[in-house]
Amino acid sequence: MTGEGEEGCQLVRRFPPLFYLDAVSSTNSFLKNWSRKENLSSGTGLYAGTQTGGRGRRGNRWCHVPGNLALSIWVEEQVSPLPPWTLRLAWTLLSYLRSRHIPCQLKYPNDIYLSSNALKLAGILVEKTSRGAVLGVGLNRFLPEGLAAAACEDLPDHHILALSVTELFYAHFLEEKNSPPEIARVLNELNEQLLWKGDWVAWREEGEGNAGLGKVIDLDLSGRLRVLEPSGHHRLLPETIRSVERVEPSGKMS
């Protein structure tokens, strides 16, 4: 990888590599295209001051306010890890926010909610390529106008956020192979911060008519959400689940 990075990128830190762009359509798209042209080091991060075409899951748009965090991290992989990259990055965000005394929870599979108002503070988008994956995160310091979302102006600026999050992620998941106890600790901490644990939720999978109801139990060892269906059977929801939403007990199946 070149010392200065792709055209327009400013090198912020050499290891793990972190680059900055004043403006970009999508940090995920930029980093994904860059990875096709050059052998990037696993853990290379890219963040932007302004992102005009941020994306969420299922083709949704992520609205970015300048000063909020728009960050992507490249990871080279042969086999997808367990728990998946989405949950590893979620754990990183939750750990960092907890260190700043900001209580948050994981809304399976890829969102971070602020505990004080149960609104979305951050979202994660993982996009696979033939050689690896790009892990994108958007985190709100300031509230996008007209959206029912959370924001936290007590967080440091996006430069410090990008430095801190990428360093924490690299140290725990890329610097050396995690031992089973480390992975178990990650899952235990994610379960402690799992949104709607013990509550009834409705979910929708890919495809028409693939929906269901159940009570949230926990994340299993693979990182999939385990729910208890009204029939009494356990069900594991995949990471590719379309949506999971809380419902009142009266709305559950009889």
100-148 confidence digits (pLDDT tens)? 999 999 999 999 999 999 999 999 999 999 899 999 999 999 998 878 8
Fold of 200-251: SH3 type barrels. (2.30.30)
Residue 250 confidence class, pLDDT cut points 50, 70, 90? low
Among the listed residues 109, 242, 95, 107, the one whose alpha carbon sits nearest the alpha carbon of residue 173 = 95
Say whether domain 10-192 belongs to CATH 3.30.930.10.
yes
In this structure, are residues 160 and 171 in contact, taking their beta carbons and an 8 Å threshold? Answer: no
Q: Is the pLDDT of residue 3 over 50?
A: no
pLDDT of res. 58: 55
Among the listed residues 189, 203, 220, the one whose alpha carbon sits nearest the alpha carbon of residue 98 = 189
pLDDT of res. 60: 62
Residue 179 confidence class, pLDDT cut points 50, 70, 90? low
Q: What is the rounded average pLDDT of the residues 182-200?
A: 94
Q: What is the mean pLDDT of the chain?
A: 89
Q: What is the rounded average pLDDT of the residues 239-243?
A: 86
Cis check for the bond before 181: say yes or no (omega within 30 of 0). no
Q: What is the rounded average pLDDT of the residues 217-229?
A: 96
Where helices occur in the chain by DSSP H, the ranges are 27-37, 85-99, 158-173, 180-192
Identical fold for domains 10-192 and 200-251, yes or no, is no
pLDDT (tens digit per residue) in 54-87: 665 555 666 788 999 999 999 998 777 889 999 9
Share of the chain above pLDDT 90, in %: 72
The domain spans of the chain are 10-192, 200-251
Top-ranked range on mean pLDDT: pick from 51-55, 77-81, 191-195 = 191-195
Between 208 and 219, the more confident residue is 219
